[in-house]
Structure 1
Amino acid sequence: WNGDSLTLHSSLQILKVARQVLAKSLGVADDKVRILSPYIGGGFGGKMLGPDAVLAAIAAQKLGRPVKIAMARRQLFHNVYRRTDTHQRIRLAATEEGKLLAVGHDSVISQGPDGGFMEPVALGSISLYEAPVRHFSHKVVTLDMVMAGAVRAPGEAVGTLALETAMDEMAEALGRDPIDFRKLNEPKVDPMTGAPFSTRGLVACLDRGAEAFGWAKRSAQPGQVREGEWLIGMGVSAAVR
């Protein structure tokens, strides 16, 4: 502290919000708080202010000298937010030729009593594939746990994993190549709004990956390729961010 002004050194992202939160916690004006964050480290997209920073500021004010807080790894899981667990339900409907008719993605997540963040689980599903019938829902269950927050690729990471697993299962049920199945359902415009894409290179990406990884030589029947003790499989999945 320098008088009634505070300087905080920490590895934080989104410093404007961090300054507002810290100032409000300490009961001072925003312009009385300065945050220096030259090194982010493992940010994962949302390295926000935590209780440790507020406690350090209070201790420094009480003691009249700088205070440094260093947490052991096991303490991190109580002092910073977590990625929520997700319970997901995926539904796909398609013609025998492989055209998707409907996609549904429902999810339930947990959040602490004071948490305002909701994991947008279906964020990756809403625009990845074309289907005329679409349904997405998100429900939040409040639990007495550490707050959940944004961890790298909020929503898309955990949601796309479930969607792509279902796409693989549908391709197998239809007897279609998983890459061809995805390409067949490539939307020409945003399937939710009808707006044109500024850029979209998924098909080109799938083609380039297939060529680079030797997809044409892939055996669609599991357990056919062995290298020593290992069975070698080849799969594909798409992602959106």
Structure 2
Amino acid sequence: MTGGVTTGEVSLPRWRFRLAGKWFSIELNDDAARRRSIKDLVEEQVGKAEENATLRALMRRRVETGAVAARDAQAQGMFIATEISPGRPMPVTLTVYAPSDLHMSPAVGTAPETVISMLEKSFVTLGMEGNDTATRLSLGQAEVLRLHRYASPPLNEQAPEQTVRNLIVDYWCTVPGSKRVVLANFFTPLSDITNVMLEYFDGVVRASYFEAEAQAAAQAAVV
């Protein structure tokens, strides 16, 4: 599956992801389409048997809550993985944001190393959660800053004392030829294998690309 999102402006390139395994794209802006996409995900996971109706309802509410929160935060795309390969479960949510109000000052220029350095400095100044885990990655014409942290929300509202420790990983990526950055947020309950998941997420991000970049490379190859 290939997932892609716009970067918030028509003139800017599209950030696309090569997603191996089984992923579901969750519609964010159309209510009816969102409910259908969530229904498809839940039924694929749980089945349609009557005895699982309560579990299906619970799962639908959880995904709906996350999707609505992502929409309200102006997310551009949301993808949920169920398995990395046949028979190998891997619960992961990828949400991509292109915040229109987040860009560097005019004096910074558009060099990706400069933009990402300024962003990292601002995170330290603001005390951004996870800034002490900051790691750099390079995508060629774009630079990435990775931060990770943990959260332990209750499993459900009826049992607030029962929690699950989740791993949350943010990849802030510069947009080629601009002062803008985009964000890929990964979320998984597999926090016990943090290093494994970080390596996997790094691989997904390193395999991502900006569509305008890829088109220019293909044209150059033809010439």
TM-score interval, normalised by the smaller of the two chains: under 0.3
Of Structure 1 and Structure 2, the greater helix share is in 2
When Rg is computed on C-alpha atoms for both structures, the one with the higher figure is 1
Of Structure 1 and Structure 2, the greater strand share is in 2
Larger relative contact order (C-alpha < 8 A, sep ≥ 6)?
2
Instruction: Give the TM-score normalised by structure 1.
Output: 0.23
Instruction: Give the TM-score normalised by structure 2.
Output: 0.25
